[in-house]
A and B are shown apart, each in its own frame.
Chain A
């Protein structure tokens, strides 16, 4: 009865009805349909049920090896990344080391830049023609390079420990230092306090960090494709199955195999670990406990942080330096030639990237805000489903999304291959969840009576949304757009499948240069990417953000 009434009421709010229908249609077409195609392709062959690659899973090395490799890398990276993340978080929340804000900024570098820049830097240093590799070879006659497991673990750890850091920083700063202080007051030693109080309280957070980093590592495509050597992982194998063998059933099967551990970890993190959190959110920042650490520990941590930050800075510095050399490893004389190349031959890629980002950013931003509003504030049949579907791609590796898009949009009726639209769509539907989350969080701060008043006074959905809701959550709207834009310029794992001769992306161009062993030009692309990202973050966040925000902040 109530359901039926919800439905009837929609009819009297035509714009809302239209919007709900449209959103569902989009979610079905661009999220559900590609996934269904991947699953179907892995299970059916020539129209018959024939999951042949699943059946051969344990017999074929090209199936089982990448799977085990992925798990190995994921496990090691999760472990190391969480340890480093914990060290950073502990140092920042529980000691008074100098330069905390510098460490925090450095830790965000890998998050906002394309993660595979780290792999590029690692190669500049330790690859075939790396600085250290050459040094070892010429001075000691040792022939060693970083490709394979060591390279994967090194680069992914550096790329993804910031995620653990941010998660744990939140957790540790949520633990009231009074708890630790009272343990100390009761006579417990510092070590005992750490192991009996701090660590147990942080355990759910640590588990969360482990799982999140594990997922990221499994999903990672950019670092493995650069540095995996003869150590194939699932994402790269799936990519090669498509581009090298044009074996879509194999690619689909590999990506479904990838989906299993990632989804498992996601569900565990989301529904089990995060429920176990002891952290109490009081809304007022607690002063950090400085008593609980000894000077020795404090300066020890400081040293560790300096070394790690130093490595990150060194890596980014190397990319910058590499971009100014003629031919890395062979001819290291300085030149601006690479940038001339990037801005002539590579200009088309840069422009394509910007055009596509220019399409995806506003559309994704608006869609995210609209969906957030619909699911938090509106009643209509299927609201829970909309919430679930819109967040689905958050839990799904880009590789599957990319393969799904090839399968779904290669043939009529939805023929999109070769267009800019397909690339933009990948970005929109993959990155939207972050925008939705931010908008939901912000909407929860806004008194529902405010929009209810608008509707009550006669405003239809469109007006209430545009005049009331949007201005009130514009900060989330803007940061959602910044996020989408940044990802357009830096992401690779899904879009690598849908780029074409007509539409290329700068990240893909960078990979091609690595493939051609032209590391200097690759580095030049990397520098351009970083400059664009930083420029846009500063521009959108400050200029545009302030412009839109001014009125609202004045009112607050």
Chain B
């Protein structure tokens, strides 16, 4: 697939109050045609800035932006073939829904008939028929959001940019709308760059996720990859929940590594490149990748320090003999009974789910 968006060494430094903030730090990223890539990271990590650099709203301090193979770093937004769905929507308050959606087409001097046809078609696509004459403030939040999406879609841009498009919607609508966006995006095959700080949203919607922290790219890959094989502690911690247990590699054989956790538990886990016998490592153990068994069974015995029950899920904090804590999630606790504090239990680690990181 051809690369539609390419960011090369992209860097943006803001100067405010004599202090320099590096918002984006030598970012390299490629988005292929028809792909939806999400920029995910904590607040202030530079996601919005990156998106604005692609859209042309900020001028990079260093680095280049390529769209469809052409360098566009020097071009203002109106000369770039991108369209943005803004977090605050940015709807024109003095124009009707129809006029809002038609704006980009009129700029392109399309014949009036075609403008009307395409606007109507686009509105149908996002289920907004019949609201053409309303003003933005006469719409619900969800409808406004769809007008913003529709206004960006209708000009058939090379790349669609989304900046937390769902953050102003309530939880239920957020799930519905993200499914709708993903469906449309796939159907129309629009290359998209999508910013969010909600990892569930990112997991659900993306072909690939680019995890950022402090302006730097931490890891990029499909959601499964990011979750199962986080590149570092930050990613492991930020995506889902994780226990970090001290470990040492003690041997390797046909695609497996033998590791010993602190406290003496020995496990065979999937091999990760770069680990020789003898190296110190950190084992990433997801809370759901642990079974709780009766005392005496499993790999090791632990004590319940704290339990937390939410209905579909019970979360326990266990104390391991090594002195480390282990957070464990148990599905459908009704079947197994809720364990009070002080209970001694057996713990079994899912070998396949354990991922090693360098210390």
Q: Does B7 contact A (CB under 8 A)?
A: no
A554 at the interface (CB under 8 A from B): yes
Kindly list chain B residues whose C-beta atoms are within 8 Å of the C-beta of A552: 93-94
User: Any chain A CB within 8 A of the CB of B91?
Assistant: yes
Say whether A284 faces chain B, with CB atoms less than 8 Å apart.
no
**Which B residues touch A515, using CB under 8 A?**
none
* Residues in chain A near residue B135, CB distance under 8 A: 554-555
Given A379-B59, A458-B104, A551-B94, A9 and B75 touching (CB < 8 A)? yes
Q: Does B84 contact A (CB under 8 A)?
A: yes
Min CB distance, B166 to chain A, in Å? 15
Q: Which residues of B sit under 8 angstroms from A314, Cβ to Cβ?
A: none
- Contact call A2/B59, Cβ cutoff below 8 A: yes
Which residues on the A side are within 8 Å of B86 (C-beta)? Answer: 449, 452-453
Tell whether B309 is near chain A: CB-to-CB under 8 Å.
no
Cα(A457)–Cα(B60), bound, Å: 21
The reply on B8 being an interface residue by CB < 8 A is: no
Task: Verify A456–B82 contact, CB threshold 8 A.
Answer: yes
B17 shortest CB reach to chain A, Å: 14
Question: How far is A463 from B152 in the complex, measured between Cα atoms in Å?
Answer: 18
Smallest CB-CB separation from B82: which chain A residue?
A456
Is A106 close to B, CB under 8 A?
no
A5, A454, A455, A456: the one contacting B92 at CB < 8 Å is: A454
A8 at the A/B interface (Cβ < 8 Å)? yes
A46 within 8 A of B: no
| A468 interface hit (Cβ, 8 Å) | yes
Contact B83 A456 (CB under 8 A): yes
Contacts of B108 in A (CB 8 A): 458
B115 CB to closest chain A CB, in angstroms?
13
B76 within 8 A of A: yes
- Interface residue? A460 (CB, 8 A): yes
Instruction: Report the minimum CB–CB distance from A15 to chain B (whole Å).
Output: 10
B73 at the interface (CB under 8 A from A): yes
B238 at the interface (CB under 8 A from A): no
Given A450-B91, A471-B94, A472-B93, also A456-B137 (CB < 8 A)? no
Interface residues as binary, B1-30 with A (CB distance below 8 Å gives 1, 0 otherwise)? 000000000000100000000000000000
Q: A9-B74, A12-B76, A13-B76 are in contact. Are A447 and B103 (CB under 8 A)?
A: no
Instruction: Give B114-150 as 1s and 0s: 1 = Cβ < 8 Å from A's Cβ atoms.
Output: 0000000000000000000001110000000000100
Q: Using CB atoms, name the residue of chain B closest to A13.
A: B76
Q: Flag if B62 contacts A447 (CB, 8 Å).
A: no
Instruction: Tell whether, in the assembled complex, residue B107 and residue A450 are in contact, meaning their CB atoms are under 8 Å apart.
Output: no
Residues from chain A with Cβ under 8 Å of B89 in the complex: 449
**Contacts A9-B76, A449-B88, A453-B92: A1 and B55 contacting too (C-beta < 8 A)?**
no
Q: Is B76 a contact partner of A459 (Cβ separation < 8 A)?
A: no
Partner pick for A455 among B78, B91, B148, CB 8 A cutoff: B78
Q: Is the CB of A555 within 8 A of B95?
A: yes
Contact between chains at A449 and B79 (CB < 8 Å): no
Given the complex, which residues of B lie within 8 Å of A454, measured CB to CB?
92, 103
Closest to A468 in B: B92
| Binary per-residue interface labels of chain B (40-56) against chain A in the complex, 1 for a CB within 8 Å, 0 otherwise | 00000000000000011
Q: Are B59 and A9 in contact (CB under 8 A)?
A: yes
Instruction: Give the one of A447, A450, A453, A555 with max B CB within 10 A.
Output: A453
Partner of B59, one of A6, A458, A468, A551: A6
Of residues 156 to 205 in A, which have CB atoms within 8 Å of B's CB atoms? none
Any A CB within 8 A of the CB of B251 = no
Contact in complex: B59, A5 (CB < 8 Å): yes
B57→A450 contact, CB < 8 A: no
Name the residue of chain B whose CB is nearest to the CB of A463: B107
Q: How far is the CB of A6 from chain B (nearest CB, A)?
A: 6
Q: Chain B nearest CB: distance from A477 CB in Å? A: 14
Chain B nearest Cβ from A445, distance in angstroms: 11
Q: With an 8 A cutoff between CB atoms, is B343 at the interface?
A: no
Q: A449-B86, A458-B104, A463-B107 are in contact. Are A556 and B93 (CB under 8 A)?
A: yes
Q: A2-B61, A450-B91, A555-B136 are in contact. Are A459 and B103 (CB under 8 A)?
A: yes
Cβ of B87 within 8 Å of any chain A Cβ, yes or no, is yes
Question: Complex formed: what's the CA distance from A471 to B56 in Å?
Answer: 24
Task: Decide if B57 touches A453 in the complex (CB within 8 Å).
Answer: no
What residues on A are CB-neighbors of B77 within 8 Å? 452, 455-456
Given contacts A2-B59, A2-B61, A555-B137, contact A459 B88 (CB under 8 A): no
Chain A residues with CB under 8 A of B93: 450, 472, 552, 555-556
* Set of chain A residues within 8 Å of B92, measured between Cβ atoms: 450, 453-454, 468
Which residues in A have their C-beta under 8 angstroms from that of B76? Answer: 9, 12-13, 455
CB-based contact B84/A452 at 8 Å: yes
User: Nearest Cβ distance between residue B245 and chain A, in whole angstroms?
Assistant: 45
Residues of A with C-beta under 8 A to B88: 447, 449
In the complex, A13→B155 CA distance in Å?
Answer: 21
| Alpha-carbon gap, A452 to B56, bound state (A) | 10
- CA of A453 to CA of B148 in the docked complex: distance in angstroms? 9
How close is A460's CB to chain B, nearest CB, in angstroms? Answer: 6
On chain B, the residues within 8 Å of A1 by CB distance are 61-62
A247 to B155 Cα, complex, angstroms: 66
Q: How far is the CA of A13 from the CA of B57 in the complex (A)?
A: 13
Q: Which residues does chain B contribute within 8 Å of A447, judged by CB atoms?
A: 88, 90
Q: Which of B235-272 contact A (CB under 8 A)?
A: none
Cross-chain pairs A/B with CB under 8 angstroms, 14 sampled: A5-B60, A5-B74, A12-B74, A13-B78, A447-B88, A452-B84, A453-B91, A457-B78, A458-B104, A458-B155, A459-B78, A552-B93, A555-B135, A555-B136
**Which positions in A face B, CB cutoff 8 Å?**
1-2, 5-6, 8-9, 12-13, 379, 447, 449-460, 463, 467-468, 471-472, 551-552, 554-556
**Extra A-B contacts (4), CB below 8 Å, given A452-B86, A463-B107, A555-B137:** A452-B57, A452-B77, A453-B91, A455-B77
CB-based closest 10 A-B pairs? A449-B90, A457-B104, A453-B90, A449-B86, A458-B107, A555-B94, A455-B77, A555-B135, A552-B94, A450-B90
